[in-house]
Amino acid sequence: MKKLTVRDVAVAGKRVFVRVDFNVPFDEKTGAITDDSRIRAALPTIKYLIDSKARIILCSHLGRPDGKVVESMRLTPVVKRLSQLLGQPVSTTADCIGPDVRKAVVSLREGQVLLLENVRFHPDEEKGNPAFARALASLADIFVNDAFGASHRAHASISGIADFIPSVAGFLLEREIDMLGGLLEDPERPFAALVGGAKVSDKVAVLENIIEKIDFLLVGGGMAATFLKAESYDVGQSKVEDDLVETAARLMTTAREQGVRLMLPVDAIVAEEIGPGARAEVASLGKILPQHRIVDIGPETVQNFAAVLRECRTVFWNGPMGIFELPQFAAGTRAMANELADLKATTIIGGGSTAEIVTNMELTEKMTFVSTGGGASLQFLGGEKLPGVEALLDKDSREARRLVR
């Protein structure tokens, strides 16, 4: 990684402001955290700072409070879980700036951890307000960005704070960039991209950026309907992005010109309605009825995709193969997850709902890497710069040379 990391700078005795991504899901009835993987992902950086005798100030958002205090979006349950995982108490504040916060920061001793309240309770966070960023920066000597999942946002606590104090990468962000960057730079071949999800529009930039680097492109999910429409197939009531049919056709032409083997569904699970009681059936391509909607890839497609994946040494997967939230429409997605878990290959999961699927199926440990960033990973693989990464110090910069211990 070309950016300075937390291991490169002296942190002992320093106040270190760490932007983490603790935007974890909760059970609406009990308020309990249902998946703590994002908290666990930040532990290596936090534990390193504890062992290095830093004074640690953690900052995160939770949900979308739209710049207002929302009681259900307070970080209290996160503080409790983080304390359990660290095996030491984590203190907290009722806000993320102000006199009481400064007092809590001043009282921190070496190795102690403080988690500030939800930074998105302030409208200036998402606006990237420099004054708000300066207020956050004034709490610390060094900034560490370990929130890869939010690094595609030019928010005050992500990129704005870097204008005021030296800024470096945490271990999670470093690993994200190294693993995803490896896909673009030097993947072991054969290399397959398995893409799904609802919209082609979400994946266009990624597909355009990696099409010359892959050997296989496997397309499933709702977005497959747009590709099938571009091939003149009738997809019934399936949602098609009509304005992207030509784009899909162009991508398929480029794939063929580059010698990429493109695979679309040859059959599908279809339904007339979407809901818990909806009846699903298999339909071959070309026999999808006008009243049908594609809700998953079919069994023959699962077999075709699996056969190709078994040939590969590197696989990147982003996007479910169907409406996986409903059990009767989840078989294709689950089959792909199980297939990747059994591969003797580098398997990288592109965050968001795909990471959620792998986590819920308890397959995380069987994958090479599961990204914590949905939108961030897509933006990075699409060749776009991430504000939260760009704001960090380059290793060869003059300021970096002054900081390196």
Residues 248-284: pLDDT tens digits? 999 999 999 999 999 999 999 999 999 988 999 999 9
Question: Does residue 31 lie in a domain region?
Answer: yes
Question: Is there a catalytic annotation at residue 286?
Answer: no
Range of 141's domain? 6-173+385-403
- What mean pLDDT is predicted for residues 74-96? 97
Question: Is there a catalytic annotation at residue 38?
Answer: yes
Cα atoms found within 13 Å of the Cα of residue 78, Cβ hemisphere only: 31
- Using an 8 Å Cβ cutoff, are 34 and 43 in contact? no
Question: What mean pLDDT is reported for the chain?
Answer: 95
Q: Are residues 166 and 22 in the same domain?
A: yes
| Residues near 310 by beta carbon (within 8 Å), at least 6 away in sequence | 339, 343
- Using an 8 Å Cβ cutoff, are 34 and 27 in contact? yes
Say which DSSP state 188 is in. P
- Distance (Å, whole) CA 307 – CA 343: 11
Question: Does residue 179 lie in a domain region?
Answer: no
pLDDT at 405 over 70: no
Q: Are residues 282 and 395 in the same domain?
A: no
Here the tokens at position 369 are: 């890497």
Q: Residue 157: what pLDDT?
A: 98
Q: Are residues 71 and 218 in the same domain?
A: no
Helix 37-51 vs helix 171-185: crossing angle, to nearest 10: 120
Domain boundary among 294, 312, 344: 344
Q: Are residues 92 and 201 in the same domain?
A: no
By C-alpha distance, which of 200, 183, 201, 205 is closest to 192? 183
Identify the CATH number of the domain in which residue 250 sits.
Answer: 3.40.50.1260
Q: Are residues 67 and 203 in the same domain?
A: no
Question: Is there a catalytic annotation at residue 127?
Answer: no
Q: Residue 29: what pLDDT?
A: 81
Instruction: Quickly list DSSP for 98-147.
Output: SHHHHHHHHT--TT-EEE---GGGSHHHHHT-HHHHHHHHTT-SEEEE--
**Which among 3, 15, 19, 38 is annotated as catalytic?**
38
% of the chain surpassing 70 pLDDT: 100
Strand ranges of the sheet holding 15-19, from the earlier edge strand across to the other edge: 90-92, 113-115, 55-59, 15-19, 142-145, 167-169
Torsion, Cα 306 312 316 319, to 10 degrees, reads: -10
Question: Does residue 362 lie in a domain region?
Answer: no
Q: What is the distance between the terminal CA atoms of the chain, rounded to a whole angstrom?
A: 18
Phi, psi (rounded to 5 degrees) for 92: -145, 170
Q: Residue 328: what pLDDT?
A: 94
Q: Residue 122: what pLDDT?
A: 98
List pLDDT tens digits, range 132-161: 999 999 999 999 999 999 999 999 999 999
- Distance (Å, whole) CA 286 – CA 161: 55
**Which among 128, 181, 375, 382 is annotated as catalytic?**
375
**Which among 170, 352, 373, 374 is annotated as catalytic?**
352
pLDDT band at 351 (very low <50, low <70, confident <90, very high): confident
Q: Count CB neighbours of 319 within 10 A.
A: 26
Question: Is there a catalytic annotation at residue 170?
Answer: no
Question: Does residue 396 lie in a domain region?
Answer: yes
List pLDDT tens digits, range 32-61: 899 999 999 999 999 999 999 999 999 999
pLDDT at 168 over 80: yes
- What mean pLDDT is predicted for residues 66-88? 96
Q: Are residues 231 and 148 in the same domain?
A: no
pLDDT band at 396 (very low <50, low <70, confident <90, very high): confident
Q: Are residues 103 and 224 in the same domain?
A: no
**Which among 80, 199, 313, 366 is annotated as catalytic?**
199
By C-alpha distance, which of 148, 144, 134 is closest to 56? 144
List pLDDT tens digits, range 111-133: 999 999 999 999 999 999 999 99
